[in-house]
Amino acid sequence: MNATATTATAPAPAAPAASAGAPAVTPAEKTGARTPEAVGVIENARERIDALDDRIIGLVQERMAVSAVIQEARITSGGRRVNLSREMEILAHYRDALGKPGTTLAMTLLELSRGRV
């Protein structure tokens, strides 16, 4: 019985070490793919999306900084913080390029770029 007890206790320490209480998720489960080839394609594409998202975030931050310069110049010259006609141009540009969801995206960018009200 001691041999059985030793065998039974050997796998127990390995399971908690693999994850913090949650069962390990296989690549197929993580991607939803049903073949190893599809898993590879999805994992590579997701890595590319993550890299693109990092670039997009950097560009949004850059846009916010440029917008702050414009706002400062406008306010310093006695103008208003927001130029509504310019915002309408931006909304139209995104809508024309991306359809209705583009308008939502543009609104989010404008909100981020306006700074504190």
Q: Name the band, by pLDDT with cuts 50, 70 and 90, for residue 19.
A: low
Residue 49 has pLDDT above 70, yes or no: yes
Mean pLDDT across 43-60: 97
- Quote the mean pLDDT of the chain: 85
pTM, two decimals, is 0.72
Name the token pair of 71: 């706002």
